[in-house]
Amino acid sequence: MAVLLSLDSEVDLSGRPDKVPAPSALLNPMSATMQELLGKTMKSFAEGSIVKGRVLQKRTNEILVDIGYKSEGVISLSEFEDDENLEVGSEVEVLLERLENDEGMVVLSKEKAAQKQNWEKIVQIFNNGGLITGKVKAVVKGGLMLNVGVEAFLPGSQVDIIAPKDLRIYEGKTLECKIVKLNEERKNVVLSRRELIEAERAEKRSKLLGGIEKGGTVKGTVKNITDFGAFIDLDGLDGLLHITDMSWSRLNHPSEMLKVGQEIEVLVLDIDREKERVSLGLKQKTMNPWDQIAEKYPVNMKVKGKVTNLVPYGAFVELEPGIEGLVHVSELSWTKRIARPADVLTQGQELEAIVLGVSKEDQKVSLSVRQLDTNPWEVVTGKYPTGTRVKGKVRNLTAYGAFVELEEGIDGMIHVSDLSWTRKINHPSEMLKKGDDIEAEVLEIDKANQRISLSLKHLSDDPWKSIEERYKIGDLVTGKVSKVASFGAFIQLADEIDGLVHISQISNDRVEKVKEVLKIGQDVSARVIKVDKTERRIGLSIKAADYTPEQIEREKENYEALKPGEELSSMEAAFDRAEEDYRPGESKKK
């Protein structure tokens, strides 16, 4: 660093002779008088220092400035923000970069002088914990660049409490921030606006908690929406508005009613000052529509509404804001078999229904669509009296019977036991198939459970009623083997009546396995040795086909000596224990 001296003005030596300096004083530069004079008239210049200068000339792109040195300096006009008001003779503060360049000119900078002054100011603000204001110059990666006298960086995470999605909304805006970091060497400045907002919110939160009361109303802005509710910014304090406190109507999600940034007025439901929690309500600002529900919607009243939601068990219908009724799937139709409400209804559809019941406590209204029409089952008894022959189409087959459609929505069922008087039917498909047009007889009507019992076998007389007249002890009969079991074989006789040949009645020789002697479909002749009308059982004997009446009587006694439950307790039990399937040509049971 060089220090030079320069005369600021000439010394006046004119005047009276006694005022002229002595020669010795002029010749001695270190005389006391000369030192005092030079101290008053000379300036010291240090590179890197800020000095004052005066505008000598204003040119097209630059300014000529005199700082009192032996040469002038030139500064670019772009360094002056308000160059229009800059006039010759104006005083400016500049940074002395160099005392002399290659052209002998002083190198000056107005902008760098301002930066140095600003940096010193910023350091002082940082040390004192103060605040600084700056204008957003640009959006950069990770944040904003501000002009606070020098360039400063404001990270995106420090712009606000919740980092904004688009930082471009801050372009050109003036923001007040706190200096959180300085780098003297690199001249880097890092700012935070979030700290100011948090401190301001904390102060407001404390003030708000001290002022709000349970039951009072407050205004706020929707800050965030979740599945269970919405957080409302009460100007520094967040309150929770639960989804159940938003509306008297049913909401699937808070977003159906609110959106982020929306301003709302809410009711304070509860306050926890220690944990700084506030519970809010919106629906409580209006009267509960359920208070007068019973009077407004009496039972059997016809109502209109809009389908708001379809679920597997029914349809929700909005009768008015806050009031929904449920039409259970079973109340959609008297006759149609509806698996899902969505099969017959659509969301938003206008619907008429009848009120079945109201519960204020449970906030439920039960509705019915089918009650709008007469229940067809109310006239079924008169239309299909017991004993009537009816026609219908086989609609479905199950393991226990066949469903027959008598008219649209009205089905009767033929139980498997009512298909035949004589045959043991394991499955209805042995006699019927889906789509068959058949006749049947009405056995019984259960109006309460909406059931009609039908029968095929009752279309004809029960052959077992006259069995003793048709089959007598000792009669020789012929038939085909229909089923083979371990204990004997079933022989199909006339009118599909089956007789049982016990294993002991097959041959005079000992039979180990029935299937080794008799085959399904084989024609056989046998004697009737037992007729039991009550048990619906006919006992046959193949070996007695050629017996005399006396021998047949002895076989009858031997047959009757069989213990019930030991080998043969009844015809039905015999069927159940058979090892082969009922009709010829079908596969064995596993």
| Class of the CATH-defined domain 50-113 | mainly beta
Q: Is the pLDDT of residue 261 over 70?
A: yes
Convert the pLDDT of each residue in 84-136 to its tens digit.
677 788 888 777 877 777 777 888 877 777 777 778 888 888 888 888 888 99
> What is residue 83's predicted lDDT score, i.e. its pLDDT?
65
CATH number for 198-285 (one of 2.30.40.10, 3.30.360.10, 2.40.50.140, 3.30.70.980): it is 2.40.50.140
Convert the pLDDT of each residue in 52-88 to its tens digit.
888 888 888 888 888 888 878 888 777 777 666 777 8
DSSP at 298: -
Q: Is the pLDDT of residue 33 over 60?
A: no
Q: Where are the beta strands (DSSP E) in 162-207?
A: 174-183, 188-192
User: 436: how many CB neighbours lie within 10 A of its CB?
Assistant: 13
**CA atoms of 262 and 223, how far apart (whole Å):** 8
Convert the pLDDT of each residue in 531-556 to its tens digit.
888 888 888 999 888 888 877 777 77
Judged by DSSP in three states, 460 sits in: coil
Find all residues with CB under 8 Å of 473, minimum gap 6, and list them: 528, 529, 530, 531, 552, 556
**Domain 466-576, second-level architecture:** Beta Barrel (2.40)
Q: Where are the domains of the chain?
A: 50-113, 129-192, 198-285, 299-372, 376-459, 466-576
Query: Which of 126-135, 138-147, 516-525 has the lowest average pLDDT?
Result: 126-135
- Give the residues across from 132 on adjacent strands: 177
Judged by DSSP in three states, 103 sits in: coil
Q: What angle do CA 133, 134, 140 make, to 5 degrees?
A: 140
Write phi, then psi, for 274 (nearest 5 degrees): -65, -45
> What is residue 316's predicted lDDT score, i.e. its pLDDT?
93
Amino acid in the structure at residue 291 = D
- The token duo for 406 is 């008598």
Amino acid in the structure at residue 319 = L
CATH placement of domain 299-372: 2.40.50.140
DSSP string, 353-378: EEEEEEETTTTEEEEESGGGS--GGG
- The token duo for 411 is 């089905």
- Superfamily of domain 129-192 in the CATH hierarchy: Nucleic acid-binding proteins (2.40.50.140)
Q: What is the pLDDT averaged over residues 404-428?
A: 86
> What is residue 570's predicted lDDT score, i.e. its pLDDT?
46
Q: Is the pLDDT of residue 502 over 70?
A: yes
**CA atoms of 222 and 448, how far apart (whole Å):** 55
**Domain 376-459, second-level architecture:** Beta Barrel (2.40)
Convert the pLDDT of each residue in 432-491 to its tens digit.
999 999 999 999 988 878 889 999 989 888 888 888 888 888 889 999 998 898 999 999
Q: What is the pLDDT averaged over residues 39-58?
A: 70
Q: What would you report as the CA-atom Rg of the chain, rounded to the nearest whole angstrom?
A: 56
Residue identified by tokens 């005047």 is: 15
